[in-house]
Structure 1
Amino acid sequence: MSVFTPLARPELEAFLAPYGLGQLRDFQGIAAGSENTNFFISMEHGEFVLTLVERGPVQEMPFFIELLDVLHEADLPVPYALRTTDGQALRELKGKPALLQPRLSGKHPTEPNTQHCAQIGELMAHMHLATREKPIERITDRGLNWMLEEGSNFISHLGEAEGALLKQSVEEIERTKPGIMSLPRANVHADLFRDNTLFEGTHLTGVIDFYNACSGPMLYDVAIAVNDWCSFEDGKIDAPRARAMLGAYAALRPFTAAEAELWSTMLRVGCVRFWLSRLIAAESFAGQDVLIHDPSEFRQRLEQRQETHIPLPFAL
């Protein structure tokens, strides 16, 4: 179970007391996390999620708090940091930055259809539009420079075919980096997978886990979402789902010519980012009781993205 920092009931009760939410009824570690420690918290006055941030410097936490406040004020279904009775949002527990947020309703969709994908497209567009004029700056620690460095280092860890695929991908990122960095920017979620969303039926009720969010190219967010939401098990893109997501997005925030030109590249970049992070996690946590996502899933998707047959709506 991915609870890196276990908690005892007395220390949790002491932490929760300043929120004025009544007595602690129950708490439970969330096994699905792979980077942070999360607990479901049941209080006398509601249901909440407590996050202990395990990765990333403390000084960046105000970014996440501000971003979620902006998105919450834009009426988007996101969690936001609750304040204590004296106004504190960011606190510390067991030496880790800690945030308490409302628990959103719904479940992760396991078999997304075109309706799910259209709602994700709309959500992304609204999120980008809410921050495009004045992005809250944060440079991601898993951006293009990280991919170039870690990718180059990891080639030797792989077999011949996989190493060649990664080498080719690193070279493409190096070649296209200036163009990617000049694409239209906003704040992006950068990890908008199915397990970071909540639905009731086909109605989107929540988007969670913004701890990879940053300022960057909006197209990067779109590529990451398409790679997860619109892929078959063999890694190929499901055209109806992809068109539903891209069409819903473009209806609110039209794509540019530069984005259309780099679309295929960005789909591959999105695959490289998660293939690498999963490879690193598999090595780092081998033999430990930590959730590790299968790296081969994104290697397979990267192979399938060498040719892209689903253009952006701009290019239709």
Structure 2
Amino acid sequence: MAVFTAVTLDDLTQWMEQFPLGQAVALQGIASGIENSNFFLTTERGEYVLTVFENLDFDQLPFYVHLMRHLAERGIPVPAPVANAAGDLVVALHGKPAAIVSKLEGSSQMDPQPVHCAAMGAMLARMHLAALDFPLHQPNLRGLDWWQATMPQVLPYLSPGNAELLRSEVAFQAAFAAGETYPQLQRGPVHADLFRNNVMFVGERLTGCFDFYFAGVDAWLFDLAVTVNDWCIDLASGALDTARVDALLDAYRAVRPFTGAEEASWQPMLRAAALRFWLSRLYDFYVPRAAEMLTPHDPTHFERILRDRIATPAPRLAHQE
């Protein structure tokens, strides 16, 4: 959520007339994140978030915004997209796709405890089940195909040791995806980026999750691994914290029990989730785009996590028949 496209209140004077929100009275750029231009938008009717999409086009965006609406209609706490007078959820602003969504209550819990991880696990399982009947389909655009295409762009910048780590892990994941177990994994729409800064709390109550613009159809276990790799770790070392892992997995399992194929795939999927964000951070660090308020994330954080997931046996998912 950086700012690549500058937007002012004057730009919104006429543009806002198509929405049932009244006039814009305040606009503030959001500095965190790295993909789109995001703003806190205050109108005569309330508080919202305005997103101008920098990479996704008008043909790709229906999957994301309609998934959010689908989940919201089924009681999952996510931002609800606001339609304009013509019923469109995505409209042009400065020649780029843009959308307005409701602003969630609360703030991100950047030091999650087991109680927060349990709330996260339960909501993630409910989200997966709620999206099962979502009619649109789009693959995870940051999956194996993207890893294989992006790796050559960052290899020239890496030390020999890190280059070998990247090559070997992409090869490992390609072999895992081609094996017998991977096709047996439960699949459906996933968020694919459920870091702690994309979830809101009021005290210990989870009030919602947002930033669905990496969503796609993938293994539910990948979504869970991405979440565990951020919520349940020691930030300094990247090692998993047992109490938080247990709280998140127990709460998820209480809503949707795991399968045998998922238990067998847990360690490879934790590695896949670490690889995905190490590679994307390497790309953003070494092949950056110009943007206001943009600070690329440190790639070494997910290098540490990936090395730990390779070296350390994964906690069991406690498969139940």
Could you tell me the TM-score, scaled by structure 1's length?
A: 0.95
1:37-79 CA-to-partner distances (Å, cap 9, x unmatched) read: 0111111110011000111232011111221111001111101
1:102 aligns with 2:106: no
1:263 aligns with 2:266: yes
CA change 1:158–1:181 in 2 (3 A) is farther
**Deviation of residue 287 (structure 1)?**
8.5
SS at match of 1:76: coil
1:206 aligns with 208
Which stretch shows the higher mean deviation, 225-234 or 168-177?
168-177
1:167-194 CA-to-partner distances (Å, cap 9, x unmatched) read: 2211211110134344110110000001
The answer (yes or no) to whether the contact 2:2–2:294 under 8 Å persists in 1 is: yes
2:132 aligns with 132
Aligned amino acid, residue 68 of structure 1: M
**Deviation of residue 152 (structure 1)?**
5.0
Number of aligned positions between the proteins: 316
1:74 aligns with 74
The answer (yes or no) to whether the contact 1:181–1:216 under 8 Å persists in 2 is: no
2:288 aligns with 285
1:296 aligns with 300
**Deviation of residue 144 (structure 1)?**
1.1
1:54-112 CA-to-partner distances (Å, cap 9, x unmatched) read: 11232011111221111001111101210123322211101111101111111111100
Query: Structure 2 CA distance, aligned partners of 1:45 and 1:156?
Result: 51
Which stretch shows the higher mean deviation, 74-83 or 15-24?
15-24
**Deviation of residue 133 (structure 1)?**
4.6
2:168 aligns with 168
Aligned amino acid, residue 77 of structure 2: P
The answer (yes or no) to whether the contact 1:254–1:314 under 8 Å persists in 2 is: yes
Query: Structure 1 CA distance, aligned partners of 2:319 and 2:163?
Result: 34
Query: Structure 2 CA distance, aligned partners of 1:101 and 1:201?
Result: 23
1:189 pairs, out of 188, 191, 194, with: 191
Superposition pairs for residues 1-316 of structure 1, below 5 Å? 2-134=2-134, 136-151=136-151, 153-178=153-178, 179-233=181-235, 234-285=237-288, 289-306=293-310, 307-314=312-319
Structure 1 residues not aligned, in runs of 5+: none
The answer (yes or no) to whether the contact 2:57–2:97 under 8 Å persists in 1 is: no
SS at match of 1:48: strand
**Deviation of residue 134 (structure 1)?**
4.9
Query: Structure 2 CA distance, aligned partners of 1:264 and 1:82?
Result: 40
Q: Aligned-residue CA RMSD in angstroms?
A: 1.9
% same residue: 38
Query: Structure 1 CA distance, aligned partners of 2:202 and 2:68?
Result: 22
Aligned amino acid, residue 144 of structure 1: L
CA change 1:190–1:62 in 2 (3 A) is same
**Deviation of residue 13 (structure 1)?**
1.8
**Deviation of residue 164 (structure 1)?**
2.1
The answer (yes or no) to whether the contact 1:136–1:215 under 8 Å persists in 2 is: no
Structure 2 residues not aligned, in runs of 5+: none
Which stretch shows the higher mean deviation, 279-288 or 248-257?
279-288
Which stretch shows the higher mean deviation, 10-19 or 198-207?
10-19
The answer (yes or no) to whether the contact 2:67–2:134 under 8 Å persists in 1 is: no
CA change 1:286–1:65 in 2 (3 A) is closer
The answer (yes or no) to whether the contact 2:54–2:96 under 8 Å persists in 1 is: yes
